Amino acid sequence: MNEVATVAGAETGPFEIRDYLRLELMPHFMCPGCGHGIALRALLWAVHELGIEKDKLAVVSGIGCSGRVGAYIDANTFHTTHGRPLAFATGLKLARPDLTVVVISGDGDSLAIGGNHLIHACRRNLDMTLLMLNNEVYGMTGGQVSPTTSEHRLTTTTPTGNVEPVFDACRLAAASGASFVGREVTLQAPALKNLVKKAIAHNGFSFVEVMSDCTEIYGRKNDLGESPEMILSQKADMRPEAFGNVADQPFRPHRLATGVFAELDRPEYGAVYRAQPAFRKG
């Protein structure tokens, strides 16, 4: 694609994804059909349209398939420990408020071992963006059940089907104080790009859940077909008319609401912190 972006009335030129990638690291490690590649493209497309310089972009990632995505971005990138990317990103953003900080994390990385970090990042409202790539499974480490695995699905640790209810990450983020919350599916790449643009441009903590697909581990074990079948099933699940006010409704399998759920004007933590008398005294 050669999309032409306009920033503040000035044309930034066509979007060429190779301009934002570390080509020496290719070929990438992602499985054929993995939705994480679409998420990566949407992020870089948004960065391009926002006119963010690569030297001013910092991408922090954790452990898992999602954690490897950031390594391919030709910017300031940090591959951190499991569940801790938000903690690292918090320190980075406080030390370098001039940087645009984006965190790429998975459903297990964000909601299981990293759950408390997510809650308090939402509460603080520091100006950074979290993209939580949700493929409903621990895809890299053996296919174990995750907090977002749909009920009755098979994983290596739920061989007879998952009996736990699905964790609704968007409701958690909104209830914890995130001032921007949204969800999109990888099938809708332009809509995902636009959502990521809004999230990055928002002044405060932005949480974006990206519904991805794991074809090799999760899809194959549950007979969900190849990637085209899996992402088309996401489209079939998008029935916002069944929700009423989507911000008030829980995540339900086969009732997948997408879009912006919260967009609030809250004091940004970094600005409040730097306004303290002790900080101004140096």
pLDDT tens, position by position, 194-251:
999 999 999 999 999 999 999 989 989 999 888 888 888 876 666 544 334 444 444 4
4-30: b (≥16 Cβ within 10 Å) or e: ebeeeeeeeeebeeeebbeeeeeebeb
For the chain, what are the domain ranges? 35-280
Bridge partners for 117 per DSSP: none
Percent of the chain with pLDDT over 90: 68
Please report where in the chains the tokens 């940004």 appear, as a residue.
Answer: 268
Give the 3-state secondary structure of residue 249: coil
Check whether 48 has a pLDDT greater than 60: yes
What distances in angstroms separate CA 63 from CA 80, 129, 219, 269, one per listed residue?
7, 17, 21, 26
- In eight-state DSSP terms, residue 3 is P
Q: Which CATH superfamily is domain 35-280 in?
A: Thiamin diphosphate (ThDP)-binding fold, Pyr/PP domains (3.40.50.970)
Q: Identify whether the C-beta of residue 172 lies closer than 8 Å to the C-beta of residue 251.
A: no
Report pLDDT for 256: 74
Give the 3-state secondary structure of residue 93: helix
Q: Identify whether the C-beta of residue 93 lies closer than 8 Å to the C-beta of residue 200.
A: no
142 pLDDT tier (thresholds 50, 70, 90): confident
What is the average pLDDT value for the chain, to the nearest integer? 88
The pair of three-digit structure tokens given for residue 159, joined into one six-digit string:
């061989």
Q: For residue 110, give every residue at least 6 positions away whose Cβ sits within 8 Å of its Cβ, in sequence order, or none.
A: 62, 83, 86, 118, 130, 132, 169
> What is the rounded average pLDDT of the residues 160-171?
92
Distance of alpha carbon 251 from alpha carbon 248, whole angstroms: 10
